Amino acid sequence: MSTLTSPVTQPQVDVRGPRFAAWITTAALVVTLVVAAFSPIAAGLVLAVQAVVFALGAFLGPRRSPYGALFANVVAPRLSPVREREPVAQLRFAQLVGLIFAVVGVAGYLGGLPLIGTIATAFALIAALLNAAFGICLGCQMYPLVARLRRAPAGASPDSPTPAT
């Protein structure tokens, strides 16, 4: 997954990398749910490993995450040239959302509330599977809205008119 730069200098990556990572994430989350049927503590530990992967993707970017590095070094060299790219910022946000669900899941499993762990893991699994199988990144879809909300109060100038409600 090589980082490329668009004309507006926003870093972008090959879309096949995040989809590859989403397949591995899907498998990890399925394993978590299967293990949870036998041992919530073990499920919490499996999910904690996935949480670390989410954290690395959120804070270091998709190329530096373990699954991104695997794609870049093992899979990408065997593929045709990159035809479609997506912005890194959206992917990092999606990984942050995954991290939040994973942390809630770990807390549930390890805190004696396995139903909370299972629900959080299931939500993360649905998002990962949608990305892997259909190329629908829910976190990426949420990103523009969250970015707009973050900028609204700070971006408003005293000279700009107040939006009508």
pLDDT in tens, 22-76: 999 999 999 999 999 999 999 999 999 999 999 999 999 998 999 999 988 999 7
| pLDDT value of position 4 | 45
pLDDT in tens, 104-160: 999 999 999 999 999 999 999 999 999 999 999 998 899 898 888 887 665 454 444
DSSP assignment letter at 83: -
| pLDDT value of position 98 | 97
The CA distance from 150 to 153, in Å, is: 7
Neighbour-count burial for 65-77, b at 16+ CB within 10 Å, e otherwise: bebbbbbbeeebe
| pLDDT value of position 5 | 44
